[in-house]
Amino acid sequence: MSVEKRVLLIVSGGIAAYKSLELVRNLKNAGIAIRCILTPGGARFVTTLSLATLSEDKVYEDLFSVADQGGIGHIELSRDADLLVVAPATADIIAKMRAGIADDLATAALLATNKPVLIAPAMNVRMWVHEATQENMAILNDRGVNIIGPDEGDMACGEYGMGRMSEPDAITIAIKKLFQETNSRDTALICKSNQKLAGKKALVTSGPTHEPLDPVRYIANRSSGRQGHAIAAALAKKGADTVMISGPTNLSDPIGVTVRRVGSAVEMFEACKRELPADIVVCAAAVADWRALHPTDKKIKKDGVVPTLELTQNPDILSFLSQSISNRPRLVVGFAAETGSVVDKALDKLARKKCDWMIANDVSVGTQTFGGTKNTVHIVDQNGIENWPEMSKESIGDRLADRIANHLNTDHD
C-alpha cells in the first residue's frame, strides 16, 4: 500500500482474545499500522504488554484516564484510524453496539467513530443462536457494520457449533479486502449507497432436502448448507433483497437474509414459485432426485421381510426456474455436485437445465466438500470454464456475489 493504513483493534473479553495477538502480528507484517484498545474483560485473557510489544504502540484501556484524554481520547482514537476492528466481538459488546451504549473506552470509540467497522463474533454456540444475538447482528448488518464469521467447530467450553472466532489469517484477508475497496480513508468501505445489487431480488436455495419414508425415516444427503448460506449472506451484503429457501440444516440464519424453511423437495419447489419474480436465482441446495411414492404415516416395522421401496421423481426446480416463460429471472445459477469428470458433467447439465451458469464441484469421498468448510468450484457458462482455487465457502460466496453484480451491471439486455 502506498499510504499506510491504520487499524484500531478492540480486544474484548472472550477466550478467543488470544488470537488477537496473532492478528496484530499479521497486520504489522502487512504494513498496516495498528493501535489497540483492551477492555477489562479482554485484559483477563491477554496482557497490555503483549499487545503493546506486538503493535509497537500504546495500548488504551481507560475511558477516564487523564493521561490518555490529555493526549488522545476516544474521539481521536476512533477517527484517527481508517478501520475499527472488534476481535473478538463478544455477545456483550455486540449488544452494546446495537443499543448505542458507551460505558467504557471501547464502546465510546465505536459510538463516536465515523469510520467503517469490522467485527469478528466469538461466543458459545447457544449465545450465538439466541434470538437476541441474531436480532442484534441483523441490526448491525443493516447499519453497514462489516462482519466476518463466526466459524463452526469445537469450543473452549467443550461444545461444538457456530461461534468460533474466524482465524487471524481470514480476518487479515478481510481487512485487506476492505482497504482495497476504497481509495480514501474518509470514505466508508462498504456503504449502502454503493451496494451493487441494491434494488435487486435474489433467491437462493440451500441445504439438503429430507424425503420421508415414514414418520421417523427419510432419504437425504450429506449437504450441510454452508455454501448456500454463504452465498445468500454475500448477496445480502451486496444490497440484494435476499430470500433463502433452506432445507434442514444446523446453521444459523445468514444476517440480513429472509429465510423460508422447508423439508422436502416438493416444499422447496412450491416455496420457490411463491418467491417469483426475482432478478437472481442461485440453486445451491442439494435437492433429492427422488422421493417415496407412498410414504406411510406409521413407522415401518422390522418383521423379517425387507420392504420394497417405490420411488418417484421430484420436481426439477432448476429447470423450472431456468425455463419459466413469464417470470424467468435475469440470471439463473445452478450447482453440479458431481463425482468424477465434474466439468464435463456440468457442461451437460448446463445444456439440459438451460440455466445461465453452472457451478461444478467435486463431492467424491475424501474431498470433504459436503460438510466441510472449503470448496473448489468451476464456473461453467456460455463463455467457457473459469477454474477457482480452493477457498473457504464464505470466500466463494463473496467472489460469486461480485461476479453476479458485475454481470448484471454490464448486462444491458
Q: Using 50, 70 and 90 to split pLDDT, how confident is the model at 69?
A: very low
**Phi, psi (deg, nearest 5) at residue 186:** -100, 5
- Give the model's confidence band at 79: pLDDT under 50 very low, under 70 low, under 90 confident, else very high: confident
Say whether 157 is catalytic: yes
How far apart are alpha carbons 380 and 43 in whole angstroms?
50
**Angle CA(326)–CA(328)–CA(331) in degrees, nearest 5?**
160
pTM for the full predicted model: 0.62
Q: Over 50: is that where the pLDDT of 191 sits?
A: no
Decide: residue 345, CB within 10 A, 0-12 exposed, 13-18 middle, 19+ buried.
Answer: middle
Beta bridge partners, 211, equal 219
**180 CA to centre of own chain:** 20
- Whether 204 shows a pLDDT value over 90: the answer reads yes
The pLDDT, as a whole number, for residue 152 is: 79
Residue percentage of the chain with pLDDT more than 90: 60
Asked if 253 and 134 count as a contact pair (C-beta separation under 8 A), the reply is yes
* Residue-level pLDDT at 363: 82
What confidence category does residue 65 fall into, taking pLDDT thresholds of 50, 70 and 90? low
Paired strand residues for 334: 283, 358
| Beta-carbon contacts of residue 22 (< 8 Å; ≥ 6 apart) | 168
Pure H helices in 56-150: 66-71, 74-80, 91-99, 105-112, 125-129, 131-142
pLDDT, tens digit (0-9, with 9 covering 90-100), for 319-378: 999 998 788 999 999 999 888 899 999 999 999 999 999 999 988 877 777 777 788 999
- pLDDT number for residue 285: 96
Query: What's residue 409's pLDDT?
Result: 84
Q: What is the mean pLDDT of residues 247-253?
A: 87
Sign of the torsion angle spanned by Cα atoms 180, 186, 191, 196:
negative
Burial class from Cβ neighbours inside 10 Å (0-12, 13-18, 19+) for residue 390 reads exposed
| Cα atoms in the Cβ-side hemisphere of radius 13 Å centred on 297 | 0
| Structural domains of the chain sorted by starting position, each given as residue range(s) with its CATH number in brackets | 6-192 (3.40.50.1950), 195-410 (3.40.50.10300)
Cell of 356: 445461465
Q: What pLDDT is recorded for position 253?
A: 83
pLDDT value at position 272?
96
- Residue 314 CA to residue 269 CA, distance in Å, equals 9
**In the numeric block, which cell numbers belong to residue 348?**
451437460
Would the pLDDT of 244 be above 90?
yes
d(CA 410, CA 404): 10
Q: How many CA atoms does the CB half-sphere of 338 hold within 13 Å?
A: 19
**Residues 26-61: pLDDT tens digits?**
999 999 999 999 999 999 999 999 999 999 999 998
Residue in 36, 157, 283, 355 annotated catalytic: 157
Q: How confident is the model at residue 413 (pLDDT cuts 50, 70, 90)?
A: very low
> In a 3-state reduction of DSSP, which class is residue 88?
strand
- Among residues 40, 137, 120, the alpha carbon closest in space to that of 86 is found at 120
Report pLDDT for 74: 64
Sequence-distant (≥ 6) Cβ neighbours of residue 176 within 8 angstroms: 30
